[in-house]
Amino acid sequence: SFHPSMGSAAARECPVPPGLPGYFSLGQMARSGGPNFLGAQYAPFVVEESPESANFRVRDVAIPRELTEGRFAGRKELRQLVDRLVRIRDEAAADPVRDLDKFYEQGYELVTSPEAQAAFDIGREDPKLRERYGRTAFGQRCLLARRLVEAGVPFITVYDGGWDHHTDLFNAFSKRMPGWDNSVATLIEDLYERGLLDSTMVIALGEFGRTPQVNKDAGRDHWSNAMSVLFAGGRTPGGQVVGATDNKGFAAVERVLSPENFVSTVYAKLGMDPNKVYYTREGRPTHLVSDPRPIRELMG
């Protein structure tokens, strides 16, 4: 995708807490989850490690035990000195290496931030609450996402792969869906109980829909004509269904909306302007969203 991901745009436009990145991807980064022309400082911080592990520890967010804080700070100063010696300083605003400077600075702040260490310490959670979320990688990532929300991170994605069931769909879903339903419902309940749901959107979606017809292998294939998205929180009016398909699920026929309308809704609810124009390094003007009209039923 040419456009920056929603998370990267949010990391640029929304307030970010000191010592923490503005955009996290838990599990892995989605294919279209990068910053594109916004630069490396707005890329997601990817936490690949699984929080359900007994020895869960986020890689590279703590000073190695063999290093003192003084030596660590000295290494930072040495890197800056080497940069000055080996690089021709380009004062132009489009210097891409400046992005890496900011990226390194974010990394240093993350490693030395007590707030970051506390947010990642999922072991502080009540074991009963951890059981409510489910002792699975996805369930514990949902819990870690809630901790990052509490720390003030504006945008977090929780990746949960393995849903591309071209074969044996019904057996696979009967095993996976109960745990997924439980984890997402617990996240929404937990945010509500902590008074965070009104200020936090929970959105669940995939890449596209699935064929209405079951194929010869008892699976469903890729389908671009219709799909569903779950919205909760962020002062979204609940208890409603926006739009409809025909009775076979082949195509949207009522209140037909686009991915651009979805993205505009997310930006508007984050307090961002979907009409905003960015400029690439080459000076090319680029709209943040091609169609900046939010979905009015979700705006509250």
Looking at residue 180, the DSSP 8-state letter turns out to be H
pLDDT in tens, 65-112: 565 556 645 555 555 555 555 554 554 444 555 555 665 566 666 666
Over residues 193-202, the pLDDT tens digits come to 999 999 999 9
Which pLDDT does position 230 carry in this prediction?
97
Residue 106 in tokens: 């974010």
Q: Three-class SS of residue 190?
A: helix
Q: What are the backbone dihedrals phi and psi of residue 257, each rounded to the nearest 5 degrees, phi first?
A: -125, 160
* CA pair distance 258, 256, nearest whole angstrom: 7
Q: Which residues contact 266 (CB under 8 A, 6 or more apart)?
A: 6, 201, 203
Element containing residue 9 per DSSP (H, E):
helix 6-13
Query: Could you give the CA distance from residue 129 to residue 139 in angstroms, rounded to a whole number?
Result: 11
Task: Tell me if the pTM is above 0.75.
Answer: yes
d(CA 40, CA 153): 18
Q: Please state whether 53 falls in left (phi above 0), alpha (psi between -120 and 50) or beta.
A: beta
Task: List the one residue out of 26, 181, 200 whose CA is nearest residue 119.
Answer: 26
Summarised one tens digit per residue, pLDDT across range 248-269 is 999 999 999 999 999 999 999 9
Domain ranges of the chain: 1-161
SS3 172: helix
Secondary structure (DSSP) of 120-152:
H-GGGS-HHHHHHH-SSHHHHHHHHHHHHHHTT
Note the pLDDT tens digit of each residue in 136-184: 999 999 999 999 999 999 999 999 999 999 999 999 999 999 999 999 9
Residue 244: its H or E element: strand 244-245
Backbone CA torsion sign across 82, 83, 86, 89: negative
| 272-295 per-position pLDDT tens digit | 999 999 998 889 999 999 999 999
